[in-house]
């Protein structure tokens, strides 16, 4: 048993570092950008000065459709459509890219709701105070609202990220050699499914624990201004 | 000079401003008083375009805003550059230090350098008697201190007019005094101000002019002295209603 562990763990970790972690990080990065974009489009119902009203509404409808689509279909099915299905429509993506695209779109759809809710939770007073200083909407979002909304968004976004790390195991079904795929391959050779899948589960758990620790650190940092003391810098 | 002409604002179920025409002279302190719900906040917020009346004009020096037309963001910006707003609950930015709160406007809007903005902010902090709070967060200050910081934040933009909506209503009496002293100093320096307040002592001591507002209309608009010395009709009733003293005592006190 010890032998199995000693030989398989390095292999699994290698797959984790090569595929699981990059897949999660890259997808979360793009997912977040997409989420912020979606949330901002959704939250700007005020008559836009730049875009004509109709154009704005169409844009909002597109984003709303996107969120609906990705939240109401299973991730595995999305992965299959993008990797196995799209070639039929002439769009052929390499497995890793297909996974990044799917995970990004999926994460973006969920996280957009988190971000929208956290932006809405900032009292209107803050907008008004910034408006009266003469600040413009994008400036207010960047300088006043986002920094405060972030504190509220961190716990649910961490949830999404941890979920994403585990969901990367679905990429095994589209030929990507991430950790779970590798654990299956090793099992096929040593016939020790209980041990192998327990080991891989433990590695996922370790990854996610590190993320939880990171979440607590970020929460503390972004809540610094709420403490009654020790905020001098 | 700020001038309102025939300004009219209806909320869904309430006619908040009824054809209001008023002017607010420069370098003077105008105090707006009146019963709760009479439209004072609506009026003050309209001057900063936080509320948009449906009709009427808002003239600010050479700027003329027609409320019946869509207001361009340029007009909106020009107008807000000329006035600073102080809120009842101060509305400081909680994630920024005191110094950052004050320099935020100058840096983001006026594009001042950090040094220039911070030096000006430090002078303002001295002015309101809080020179040692620069690196604290709003959460670590008392309400009275926070309100004084929010006055600094507004002053840092060097507004022509300072608009204050019940700046001391959320404060305990001794904290209220700290804030009112700052306003009294500003009035003495001829800072143009429009103040909504329920504090009659402040109105009596500091106001050059009084606007008495009731049911969406300005019933009185004139010198402060005449308002308190010879109150009549509705104004007399209002002053008596908010006074603890008996009629006679109130009369002798006012003369
Ligand atoms: N957003 C709104 N929607 C509907 N009605 C409103 C709204 N804001 C204010 N009102 C109504 O308009 C009237 C004037 O309100 P406003 O806040 O200007 O009064 P105020 O004189 O400032 O009162 P107070 O002294 O209590 O602050 C009130 O009757 C209020 O209920
Ligand atoms: Mg009010």
CA A127 to chain centre: 28
- Give the span between the Cα atoms of A55 and B58, in whole angstroms: 32
Radius of gyration of chain B measured on its C-alpha atoms: 19
Tell me the nearest-neighbour CA distance from A39 into chain B, angstroms. Answer: 22
The pLDDT value recorded for residue B232 is 83
Q: Provide the angle, in degrees to the nearest 10, between the axes of the packed helices A53-71 and A21-42.
A: 140
What ligand is nearest to the CA atom of residue B53?
1
Between these two residues, A56 and A76, which has the higher pLDDT value? A76
Q: Strand ranges (DSSP E) for chain B? A: 2-10, 15-24, 29-33, 55-60, 63-66, 83-86, 161-165, 192-196, 209-214, 217-223
Which of B50, B77, B104 lies nearest to residue A128, judging by beta carbons? B50
Which residues in chain A touch residue B87, judged by CB atoms under 8 angstroms apart?
125, 128-129
Residue nearest to atom 29 of ligand 1 (CA): B37
Q: Ligand 2 centroid to B40 CA: how many Å?
A: 6
* Mean pLDDT calculated for residue range B83-105: 96
B14 lines ligand 1 (CB under 6 A): yes
Percent of chain A surpassing pLDDT 90: 85
Q: Look at the block and give the residue holding tokens 């006190």.
A: B253
Give the residue numbers spanning the domain of B35. 2-254
Do residue B87 and residue A128 have CB atoms under 8 angstroms apart?
Answer: yes
Say if residue B46's pLDDT is above 90: yes
What is residue A224's DSSP assignment? G
Q: Ligand 1 centroid to B138 CA: how many Å?
A: 28
CB of B85 less than 8 A from some CB of A: yes
**CATH fit for domain A2-222, picks 1.10.4080.10, 1.10.3720.10, 3.40.1010.20, 3.40.50.300:** 1.10.3720.10
Instruction: Band the pLDDT of B250: cuts 50, 70, 90.
Output: very low
Write out pLDDT tens, residues B53-77.
999 999 999 999 999 999 988 999 9
CB of B56 less than 8 A from some CB of A: no
The pLDDT value recorded for residue B251 is 52
* Mean pLDDT calculated for residue range B178-188: 94
Query: Minimal CA–CA distance to B204: which of B231, B233, B170?
Result: B231
Which residues in chain A touch residue B81, judged by CB atoms under 8 angstroms apart?
134
Q: Ligand 1 centroid to B36 CA: how many Å?
A: 8
* Mean pLDDT calculated for residue range A184-202: 95
Say if residue A103's pLDDT is above 90: yes
The pLDDT value recorded for residue B255 is 43
CB of A57 less than 8 A from some CB of B: no
Which of B91, B109, B137 lies nearest to residue A126, judging by beta carbons? B91
CB of B69 less than 8 A from some CB of A: no
- Give the span between the Cα atoms of A40 and A141, in whole angstroms: 9
Domain count within chain B:
1
Say if residue B243's pLDDT is above 90: no
B40 lines ligand 1 (CB under 6 A): yes
The pLDDT value recorded for residue A11 is 94
CATH of the domain at B118: 3.40.50.300
Q: Contact, B133 vs B125, CB < 8 A?
A: yes
Question: Which of B33-37, B38-42, B143-147, B228-232 has the least mean pLDDT?
Answer: B228-232
Do residue A126 and residue B93 have CB atoms under 8 angstroms apart?
Answer: yes
Between these two residues, B242 and B145, which has the higher pLDDT value? B145
Ligand 1: atom nearest CA of B216 is 14
Query: Minimal CA–CA distance to A97: which of A204, A13, A175?
Result: A175
Which residues in chain A touch residue B161, judged by CB atoms under 8 angstroms apart?
none
Ligand 1: atom nearest CA of B166 is 27
* Mean pLDDT calculated for residue range A136-146: 94
How many C-beta atoms lie closer than 10 Å to residue A98's C-beta?
26
Mean pLDDT of chain A: 92
* Mean pLDDT calculated for residue range A201-213: 96
Say if residue A155's pLDDT is above 80: yes
Cβ < 5 A residues, ion ligand 2: B 41
The pLDDT value recorded for residue A172 is 94
- Residues 167-186 of chain A with CB under 8 A from chain B are none
Which of A125, A131, A133 lies nearest to residue B104, judging by beta carbons? A133
The pLDDT value recorded for residue B241 is 84
The pLDDT value recorded for residue A228 is 73
Which residues in chain B touch residue A125, judged by CB atoms under 8 angstroms apart?
87, 89, 91
Mapping DSSP to helix (H, G, I), strand (E, B) and coil, where does residue B51 land?
Answer: coil
Choose from A50, A51, A129 for mutation: most chain B CBs within 10 A: A129
Do residue B85 and residue A129 have CB atoms under 8 angstroms apart?
Answer: yes
Domains of chain A, residue spans: 2-222
The pLDDT value recorded for residue A50 is 56
The pLDDT value recorded for residue A231 is 46
Mean pLDDT of chain B: 92
- Evaluate if pTM is beyond 0.90: no
- Give the span between the Cα atoms of A28 and A50, in whole angstroms: 30
Between these two residues, B252 and B237, which has the higher pLDDT value? B237
When mean pLDDT is compared over A44-58, B17-31, B70-84, B216-230, the highest value belongs to B17-31
B86 lines ligand 1 (CB under 6 A): no
Write out pLDDT tens, residues B149-171.
999 999 999 999 999 999 999 99
Q: Contact, A95 vs A123, CB < 8 A?
A: no
């Amino acid at each position: 048993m010890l032998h199995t562990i000693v030989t398989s763990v390095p292999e699994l970790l290698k797959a984790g570092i090569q595929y699981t972690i990059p897949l999660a990080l890259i997808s979360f990065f793009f997912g977040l950008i997409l989420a912020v974009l979606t949330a901002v489009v959704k939250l700007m119902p005020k008559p836009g000065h730049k875009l004509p009203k109709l154009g704005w509404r169409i844009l909002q409808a597109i984003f709303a459709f996107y969120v609906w689509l990705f939240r109401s279909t299973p991730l595995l099915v999305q992965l299959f459509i993008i990797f196995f299905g799209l070639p039929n429509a002439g769009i052929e993506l390499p497995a890793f890219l297909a996974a990044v695209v799917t995970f990004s779109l999926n994460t973006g759809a969920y996280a957009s709701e988190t971000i929208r809710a956290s932006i809405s939770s900032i009292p209107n007073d803050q907008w008004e105070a910034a408006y009266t200083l003469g600040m413009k909407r994008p400036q207010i979002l960047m300088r006043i609202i986002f920094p405060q909304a972030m504190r509220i968004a961190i716990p649910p976004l961490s949830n999404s990220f941890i979920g994403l790390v585990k969901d990367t195991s679905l990429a095994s079904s589209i030929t990507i050699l991430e950790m779970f795929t590798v654990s299956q391959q090793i099992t096929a050779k040593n016939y020790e499914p209980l041990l192998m899948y327990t080991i891989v589960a433990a590695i996922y758990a370790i990854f996610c624990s590190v993320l939880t620790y990171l979440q607590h650190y970020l929460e503390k940092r972004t809540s610094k201004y709420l403490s009654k003391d020790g905020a001098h810098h | 000079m700020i001038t309102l002409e025939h300004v009219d604002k209806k909320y869904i179920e309430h006619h908040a401003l009824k054809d209001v025409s008023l002017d607010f002279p420069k370098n003077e302190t105008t105090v707006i008083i009146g019963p709760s719900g009479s439209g004072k906040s609506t009026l003050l917020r309209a001057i900063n375009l936080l509320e948009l009346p449906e009709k009427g004009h808002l003239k600010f020096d050479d700027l003329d805003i027609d409320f019946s037309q869509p207001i361009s963001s340029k007009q909106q910006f020009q107008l807000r550059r000329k006035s600073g707003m102080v809120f009842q609950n101060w509305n400081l930015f909680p994630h920024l230090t005191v110094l950052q709160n004050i320099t935020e406007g100058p840096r983001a809007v006026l594009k001042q350098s950090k040094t220039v903005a911070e030096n000006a902010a430090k002078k303002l902090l001295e002015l309101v008697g809080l020179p040692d709070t620069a690196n604290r967060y709003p959460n670590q200050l008392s309400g009275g201190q926070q309100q004084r910081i929010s006055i600094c934040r507004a002053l840092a933009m060097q507004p022509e007019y300072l608009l204050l909506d019940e700046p001391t209503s959320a404060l305990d009496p001794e904290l209220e005094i700290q804030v009112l002293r700052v306003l009294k100093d500003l009035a003495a320096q001829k800072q143009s101000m429009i103040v909504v307040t329920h504090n009659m002592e402040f109105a009596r001591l500091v106001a050059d002019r009084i606007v008495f507002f009731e049911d969406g209309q300005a019933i009185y608009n004139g010198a402060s002295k005449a308002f308190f010395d010879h109150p009549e009709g509705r104004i007399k009733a209002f002053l008596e209603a908010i006074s603890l003293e008996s009629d006679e005592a109130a009369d002798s006190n006012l003369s």
